[in-house]
Chain A
């Protein structure tokens, strides 16, 4: 066994890198790791970069946040401000707010770091949200990735939580108001609400504890959870290998893309710097959260037209759109539905999002692994459900701006509110219907292309006088993209061994009907051959479509 060391010693001089590699390998088997991962294949597509953006913004958050921890002080003790920002000189405020002002005005690089941190937070949640939509609309959550969907969902929640706790740290007027709203919501929870509020604030609102508590949540508990979950998330991506879009050579058995080293490392590594660059450039030029304009927290003043960070908007909107006057009295006790309805509705919405992969699998009963992504049009019902969900979220989100909409469009608040409430109820249904029809139309178009080629817009006159539009066959690579998708049929509820049809069975049959009743099946071999049989000679380049359909007005 001595030969190993000998060979490396007798090889040409290893140089520093070679020496270091040898040192590490003899202690940590890094060669085995590199051998295992170095040429792992990663598919390339712009939509796969959304998760990366989220990851990189998180790295930026940790870097900029760590800088902030060196200067920020999470204390609600009162001081008189004595920093460089003249308009607030002498004002009474919490140490938390004063130290946030100091970061902004008395520490070089502090303001840019605060701005980088806040912009990165907005980007983090946005990228995570878009990433989630990508995963949804392409069916990337199907077996074996259901659990990773759940992990991603938790990451999204944690991201919102990290954002909210961070937003509350500077203890300025807006952040205090946000906490006041949280306090009002907590208090509304039946039975335990007031005790929870007392536990959260360490007594009555606002108390002197909450900022320090939010601080441990914000810089320790939530980031630690996020890091662990990101670790699990990426581990699963490695175990499952990344999905790819349907295309020539792509199957459920392989993964087609670029090797990790060197191409993917260079692209992804470079992309990190690009994301950081974009965040730094935005932070340098656009001010976000100018806390010095808001003043220290005080329960009495407010400014109208203020907005929470974007990702909290949908919850604020839910509070506004809730119907009033539904409060429930049980004996002498009160359940304030103005708070409970939004709470329950948003929790239900989140639960549906988390559970979607399991719901869809319950319908299809498809137990196979899926590694080729669906084009959204090829799963019309799922895409339509997604569109309905996005619409629901978007209406709630717009609901947080009812006042701004009313003033901008010169409408009464009441009109805007009622319009929003109606939209919330019927909007998702409209979105569902329109999206499903659009998907089916696109699928039909794809079928046309497969069977008769692509329209070229060129019209020619045949010798016997007939006009036809020239159609061009697509090449086999393109063709494959159009025909390679999975197709399902609705199932009829069948009686079980005792001759009974269980409720679950019946429900599943009904839901499968909604899903697949108006399905457009992929072109089959028989259909394809039939379509191409009539005009075999020209089939290679130009060929007329079937006559009735091909004459263009």
Chain B
């Protein structure tokens, strides 16, 4: 058992006598370069060549920078620039790296040596001295003795960081009911994403899919993405007989045209894939699948709420419009979603 081990409890360790004593480090194997000066000279030259190659690599990288100036619209120039600078840099690094390692392996001594360790634990004497200092400081300051100071200091130390937390209060506005409303209002036209062209009911043939945004969104200057992240809708027309509609929501669709939120109720990716023959909507992020013919119920995947439906109608000119906003929050579930 070694010295470091001796001073501590071995716990559940067994103490089995070793068959032989530790034989000590194996004898050093002599290399060619140790034996012959000729081999050592060869190694020296090889190392010099590697360092020389490194210089060549650096020159290639510099050449790559100047040889391929940026040409508007010319991707080949960019690609060559990147390729030659990268390869040149790689070569210059490899030259130094291989050179240094080869040097160490051939010419520097390769016999392993041993160095003693010391226990992490300080000596008893040092520990006693450290303890003395702590006691002295305690006595001099009266830290243990003067309870009033100590406790009030704890109080102060507990309170002083609180402003440092409060100061971040304006990182974001207080969440009002913004999560529960979108841009859709009674009469808002359904328009194509991203052009903003209104959609006529007659344009929507059976089986077709439209990616929809509310009218006005495409011209917005501010908060466009925030609104889009809530208001995006998928519009599909199916054979009305294929639709299993909730009688209470029967007038939310128009001749088999239904509009559902495109924001996945799992964690919010756009549910952008429609499978025509099954009427399934698929979210590419974690494969939640919603059955469009069945109120967009979840049929597969980690989402747990159906996609909210946007009640739609047709205006006097034949354009599709929203009857109202969504009647429930879109997107991922959260704590007070039902409030």
Contact = CB atoms under 8 A, between A and B. Distances in A.
Question: Is A bound to B?
Answer: yes
Contact of A109 (B81, B175, B303): B81
A488 B68 contact: no
Contacts of A320: 286-287, 301-302
Nearest to B225: A206
A322 interface: yes
B196 interface: no
A488 B14 CA distance: 5
Interface stretch (A361-369, A432-440, A460-468): A361-369
B119 interface: yes
Interface residues of A, number: 139
Interface stretch (B126-134, B153-161, B269-277, B315-323): B269-277
Interface string B172-194: 11110011000000000000011
B94 A325 contact: no
Interface residues of B, number: 113
A263 B20 contact: no
Contacts of B167: none
A94 to B, nearest CB: 9
Contacts of B272: 300-302
A490 B74 CA distance: 71
Interface stretch (B23-31, B36-44, B144-152, B237-245): B23-31
B108 A240 contact: no
B65 interface: yes
Interface stretch (B198-206, B246-254, B331-339): B331-339
Contacts of A111: 78, 81-82
Nearest to B93: A277
B122 interface: no
Contacts of A413: 287, 300
A109 B83 CA distance: 10
B69 interface: yes
B172 A200 contact: yes
Interface in A316-332: 316, 319-320, 322, 324-327, 332
A327 B71 CA distance: 56
B89 interface: yes
A338 interface: yes
A185 B267 contact: yes
Contacts of B103: 266, 270
Contacts of B49: none
A494 interface: no
Contacts of B263: 299
B4 A281 contact: no
B125 interface: no
B97 interface: yes
Interface string A167-209: 0000000000100110111011111011101111111111100
A148 B280 CA distance: 51
Nearest to B11: A365
A188 B94 CA distance: 49
Interface in B103-124: 103-105, 108-110, 112-117, 119-120
A269 B97 CA distance: 7
Interface in B40-90: 65, 68-75, 78, 81-87, 89-90
B172 A249 contact: no
B324 interface: no
B257 interface: no
A2 interface: no
B116 A106 contact: no
B187 to A, nearest CB: 22
Contacts of B268: 180-181, 183-184, 205
A338 B302 contact: yes
Contacts of A39: 115
B266 interface: yes
Contacts of A204: 178-179, 223, 226, 229-230
Contacts of B267: 180-181, 183-185, 188, 319, 339
B193 A300 contact: yes
Contacts of B19: 450, 479, 483, 523-525, 527-529
Contacts of B22: 248-249, 251, 480, 484
Contacts of B278: none
Interface stretch (A14-22, A252-260, A388-396, A542-550): A252-260
Interface string B210-240: 0101000000000101101110100000000
Given A249-B25, A266-B108, A274 B302 contact: no
Contact of B229 (A199, A272, A299, A367): A299
B13 interface: yes
B9 interface: yes
A41 B120 contact: no
Contact of B8 (A198, A322, A368): A368
Contact of A239 (B16, B86, B120): B120
Given A188-B334, A194-B334, A299-B229, A270 B101 contact: yes
Nearest to A296: B225
Interface in A266-294: 266-267, 269-278, 280-281, 283-285
B175 A194 contact: yes
Contacts of B311: none
B327 interface: no
Contacts of A194: 175, 179, 334-336
B17 A524 contact: yes
A86 B73 contact: yes
A78 B70 CA distance: 25
B234 to A, nearest CB: 10
A196 B20 CA distance: 64
Interface string A509-527: 0001000100001111111
A41 B100 contact: no
A541 interface: no
B5 interface: yes
A262 B110 CA distance: 11
Closest 10 CB pairs of A and B: A284-B86, A184-B267, A270-B100, A365-B11, A273-B97, A528-B19, A249-B25, A277-B93, A198-B172, A274-B97
17 contacts: A112-B89, A184-B264, A187-B332, A198-B171, A206-B226, A252-B4, A253-B116, A267-B104, A281-B86, A284-B87, A299-B228, A327-B333, A333-B335, A334-B333, A339-B333, A479-B20, A525-B17
Interface of B: 2-5, 8-14, 16-20, 22-26, 65, 68-75, 78, 81-87, 89-94, 96-101, 103-105, 108-110, 112-117, 119-120, 168, 171-175, 178-179, 193-194, 211, 213, 223, 225-226, 228-230, 232, 262-264, 266-270, 272-273, 284-288, 298, 300-304, 331-339
